[in-house]
Amino acid sequence: MASPKDYSDEEVVRSAPLFSALDDAASASLRQSMEPVKVGKGNTLFKVGDIGDRLFVVVSGKLKLGTTSIDGRENLLTILGPGEMFGELSLFDPGPRTATATAVTDAKLMALSHDKVIGWVTEHPNVSLQLLGRLAQRLRRSNEVLADLVFSDVPGRVAKAIMDLGTRFGVQKDDGLHVNHDLTQEELAQLVGASRETVNKALADFAGRGWVRLEPRAVVVIDQERLSKRGR
């Protein structure tokens, strides 16, 4: 599994759904319409309910997308990393931002105004197909998350979340799959929709069985087969 560091910023941006249907010339032109944005670790890029007029592609670093309940509890929808896009829902379904975006690590992004997206989609029908594909993927994933909340127990959801983060951010080394998720235990709990205590208990149980090794803001998966099976 290649580490995100193995790719140049240019390659990362080109892997985003907006670009995948474009040839080199169109892709370079689209990049020129985009503006670089930096967000420091812990800073919020936008909040749920804000007016949104841009979408973003992550070039480096990680962001969390989440919502907060009236009584202040937080729920994380997803963690995004290099090559992933967000901030398009308020364009296709005009209205306020549907989630709050906060940097989990220092992050570099490229921003494209919604107006320009409309221009690109109109001129390049393949771009809309790619965007539709990504929206469909997200809906599929959201359905799965919903089903897991109803049918799966907390350890199962923790196992699945670690394997999912591992697929996107993991680096295979001799001693296992290193998943540097950069999340606190509280954030990991918000991602699986459970309390920190229950999530910690599940992680300690996996570690006791020799499936994982726990490190600060990272997990090393030693037995991928058993962990995947537990998350099924």
Q: In the complex, what is the shortest distance from the CB of residue 214 to ligand CMP, in angstroms, rounded to a whole number?
A: 26
Specify the residue, 124 or 138, whose C-beta has the smaller distance to ligand CMP: 138
SS (H, E, C) the chain: CCCHHHCCHHHHHHCCCCCCCCCHHHHHHHHHCCEEEEECCCCEEECCCCCCCEEEEEEECCEEEEEECCCCCEEEEEEECCCCEECCHHHHCCCCCCCEEEECCCEEEEEEEHHHHHHHHHHCHHHHHHHHHHHHHHHHHHHHHHHHHHHCCHHHHHHHHHHHHHHHHEEEECCEEEECCCCCHHHHHHHHCCCHHHHHHHHHHHHHCCCEEEECCEEEECCHHHHHHHCC
CA distance 232 to 224: 12
Q: Is 86 in the site for ligand CMP (CB under 6 A)?
A: yes
**Of 165, 183, 69, 182, residue with least CA distance to 157:** 165
Please identify, among the stretches 95-103, 163-171, 198-206, 216-224, the one whose residues bind ligand CMP according to the rule CB under 6 A.
Answer: 95-103
Q: Is 195 in the site for ligand CMP (CB under 6 A)?
A: no
Q: In the complex, what is the shortest distance from the CB of residue 223 to ligand CMP, in angstroms, rounded to a whole number?
A: 29
Ranges within 128-187 binding ligand CMP (CB under 6 A): 138, 142
Ranges within 64-83 binding ligand CMP (CB under 6 A): 65, 77-78
Q: Is 47 in the site for ligand CMP (CB under 6 A)?
A: no
CA distance 12 to 57: 9
**Residue selected from 14, 64, 97, 178 as contacting ligand CMP according to rule CB under 6 A:** 97
Specify the residue, 138 or 196, whose C-beta has the smaller distance to ligand CMP: 138
Q: In the complex, what is the shortest distance from the CB of residue 76 to ligand CMP, in angstroms, rounded to a whole number?
A: 10
**Residue selected from 27, 98, 113, 224 as contacting ligand CMP according to rule CB under 6 A:** 98
Please identify, among the stretches 96-104, 180-188, 192-200, 207-215, the one whose residues bind ligand CMP according to the rule CB under 6 A.
Answer: 96-104
**Residue selected from 39, 45, 59, 90 as contacting ligand CMP according to rule CB under 6 A:** 90
Q: Which tokens belong to 155?
A: 């350890």
Where do contacts with ligand CMP occur on this chain (CB under 6 A)? 52, 65, 77-78, 86-90, 97-99, 138, 142
